[in-house]
Structure 1
Amino acid sequence: MNTSLPDASATPLNAKPHYAILDGLRGVAALTVVAFHLCEAHATSHFDQLINHGYLAVDFFFLLSGYVIGYAYDDRWTRMTPGAFFKVRLIRLQPLVVLGMLIGAALFYFQTGPLWPGIGQTPVWLVLLVMAINATTLPVPLSLDVRGWHEMHPLDGPAWSLFYEYIGNILYALGVRKFSNAALAGLVALAGGGLVHYLLTSKGGDIVGGWSLEPEQLRVGFTRMLFPFFAGLLLRRLTRPGHISNAFGWCSLLLLAVLAWPRVGGPESLWLNGLYESASIILLFPLIVWLGASGQVKGVGSARVCRFLGGISYPLYITHYPLIYTYTAWVARHKVTLSQGLPMMVLTFGASVLLAYLSLKFYDEPVRRWLRQRFLSPASQPAQTP
């Protein structure tokens, strides 16, 4: 069976308008995630966490991914096989997963301290085994959790969302792409109902979690992926972009406001925060994506900013956390306060952005270029891959 993509001239993906603002928003969300994780090292609970809802960036990523996947591939299935789709997605996502695990393994032994006292005694062969398994994006069982945080990817925690991203892509390619709009709306409604139910009844009053193979965490992971990913697909199918002025600025401000909003309610009213997160994921994030798709980037400077943010967004997300582990271990080891740690926070933030840019230019782009040339025919290589 020929699993290569069809002739690009038949359905020219590279002729479609490119949503530069959505690229920029992805970068804004990724930068916010880094800042959230740095502040998290100084938090004592979810109630005093700065950039309190930064973890919702993951749910925004899922929705954005569904929207862009629908835009890029929904009209190509008469000439594209699931195998070809999976090949393109693997080339797009997998190289940086491998790099993230390599960086995670390289920094692992610098993270010993009160939070992870057993790191120094972890044999190298075990770290290498976990790295090799996680480099495939497959999770490791709790018996191989070398850190002790019950992570399915203990060397680079954020890879858990890529695991669910792949599941969403598989469900889309093998079945959901064939759904009528009514059937897709039914799936989104069911997933949305499950999301709201979880948020209003969960022990924490939030959607935090999804990174463990434990049953409750698996439920969180699927809940976080199913609604936004397929809601993004439905949003793409049912709406068309409008004409919004200054969309990037307004969307960035709205997104930052949602992610940085303080915790809603206290321990006695957890459901209030669940209601806030439900509204953010179900109403505000689709609005932001639609507004972003409705705007135009005007000016060379704005175009460069969106291109830069979009370029580093995925490398930043998947490579920054080993640096966060190291920073968090330093904070715990020396009992560093937020004000004391501010210079190191800024340095770690800058190092994360620099690492992402270097990873993009000297690893991800060259590797993906080689993989496309090696495994895809020239005519089947889309100029822009979501």
Structure 2
Amino acid sequence: MESSPVLTAAPVTPLGTKPHYAILDGLRGVAALTVVAFHLCEPHATSHLDQVINHGYLAVDFFFLLSGFVIGYAYDDRWGRMTLKEFFRARLVRLQPMVVLGMVVGALCFYFQASPVWPGIAGVPVWKMLLVMLVGFTLLPLPVSLDIRGWHEMHPLNGPGWSLFYEYVANLLYALGVRKFSNTALGILVALAGAALIHLAVTSQAGDVIGGWSLDPEQLRIGFSRVLFPFFAGLLLSRVAPLARFTSVFLLCSGLLLLVLAFPRVGGAEQVWLNGLYDSLSIVVVFPLIVWLGASGQIAGARSARLCKFLGDISYPIYMTHFPLIYIYTGWVVAHKPPLGQAVLVAVLVFVTAVGLAYASLKLYDEPVRRWLKTRFMERRAA
């Protein structure tokens, strides 16, 4: 199982506003939709070697890099008039409402689910499920004793919570110290983190960077390796890369991103290190290029602007609400082993449902709650 974060641009705050990079918003949505398709393909694969949309797991690394770029752009020049408390408050207001909703959706799906994939969940008492949900609201990693699903997830009601945990860790590191680094010091940090990431990818047993969602030493190593390079490489990119002016690059960037994520497994079972090399080159070279091109691009017309806005708006809600549906779909596939035609129809239905649920979550919950939180905790304090 691989879940991928959809990390968000900084919110508009009383400290000032900046325009969003519209193409980056659109790319965030493209990757989010690809992740849903990737997860729908996973139950039909026998291993990572024949997984369709084979490198969809790299979306998590793309989003960490995108997040670092956006955080640097949004906050680097604000620290003279912004406190640590204001920074953390802004990030909590932006991220936490959907964390809570995602855990609630996960708990509801868990309660009504039964499948041979998780034979033990029928015996999980309600109090334990509610405890897991409440801890999930905080994104604190859960110990093995509370692994009620059995997939060794730090958030078994909504697996993608693991990547939000590392997103918060990266934000903490940035705010508490890395923001003060000179570009030289930041470059050294990025180089060391990049070396660690490449070593992980090339020497791992499976020849990839998959992992990070469990609370054990090896998985923690994977999680920190995956977040440190892309997040701080994105931060460095926002500081030192002069932007150009391109038009009509959204399709180019989207196509390049989809090519990386959907590319077949490299090297096969005999030379898994080749796939690790592919992962490394994608994260270290191709993803920064895509982000730079997207940040340099201009939206050509109103239709493209609306598309990028829609994709950006639903990207985070779809990330935080789609995976409980994937649990259900996975259980159905394992239990019934449907023919391909039937599975495709159900998968399309799940995909459409995930998009609809994300849009409803955005309009009926996320946006109203964030508006109230901004008024209650940010605008009044600024005034």
Indicate conservation of the 8 Å contact 1:65/1:229, yes or no: yes
Structure 2 Cα separation of the partners of residues 127 and 26 of structure 1 = 32
Aligned match for 1:177, one of 164, 179, 189? 179
Name the structure 2 match of 1:384. Answer: none
Name the structure 2 match of 1:269. Answer: 271
User: Structure 2 unaligned runs (5+)?
Assistant: 1-10
Name the structure 1 match of 2:354. Answer: 352
The amino acid across from 1:277 in the alignment is D
Q: TM-score, normalised by structure 2?
A: 0.95
**Which of structure 1's runs of 4+ aligned residues deviate more than 6 A?**
none
Structure 2 Cα separation of the partners of residues 244 and 57 of structure 1 = 24
Name the structure 2 match of 1:298. Answer: 300
SS of 1:327's partner is: helix
The amino acid across from 2:238 in the alignment is R
1:72-221 equivalences in 2 (<5 Å): 72-221=74-223
The answer as to 2:310 corresponding to 1:308 is yes
- Seen in structure 2, the aligned counterparts of structure 1 residues 281 and 380 have a Cα distance that, compared at 3 Å, is farther
1:343-382 equivalences in 2 (<5 Å): 343-377=345-379, 380=382
The amino acid across from 2:64 in the alignment is F
Structure 1 Cα separation of the partners of residues 225 and 212 of structure 2 = 9
Indicate conservation of the 8 Å contact 1:112/1:118, yes or no: no
Structure 1 Cα separation of the partners of residues 205 and 339 of structure 2 = 28
Indicate conservation of the 8 Å contact 1:6/1:379, yes or no: no
Name the structure 2 match of 1:341. Answer: 343
Pairwise CA distance, 1:240: 2.2
Structure 2 Cα separation of the partners of residues 124 and 337 of structure 1 = 35
Structure 1 Cα separation of the partners of residues 370 and 83 of structure 2 = 20
Structure 2 Cα separation of the partners of residues 187 and 135 of structure 1 = 31
Aligned match for 2:64, one of 62, 65, 72? 62
Aligned match for 1:229, one of 212, 228, 231? 231
CA RMSD of the aligned region, Å? 1.5
Pairwise CA distance, 1:378: 5.4
Name the structure 1 match of 2:252. Answer: 250
Pairwise CA distance, 1:228: 0.2
Q: TM-score, normalised by structure 1?
A: 0.94
Structure 1 Cα separation of the partners of residues 189 and 364 of structure 2 = 41
Aligned match for 1:241, one of 240, 243, 266? 243
Pairwise CA distance, 1:129: 0.5
SS of 1:185's partner is: helix
Structure 2 Cα separation of the partners of residues 149 and 17 of structure 1 = 41
> What is the aligned-residue identity percentage?
67
Structure 2 Cα separation of the partners of residues 300 and 171 of structure 1 = 38
Deviations 1:325-369 (A, max 9, x none): 000001111112443300000000000000000000000000000
SS of 1:374's partner is: helix
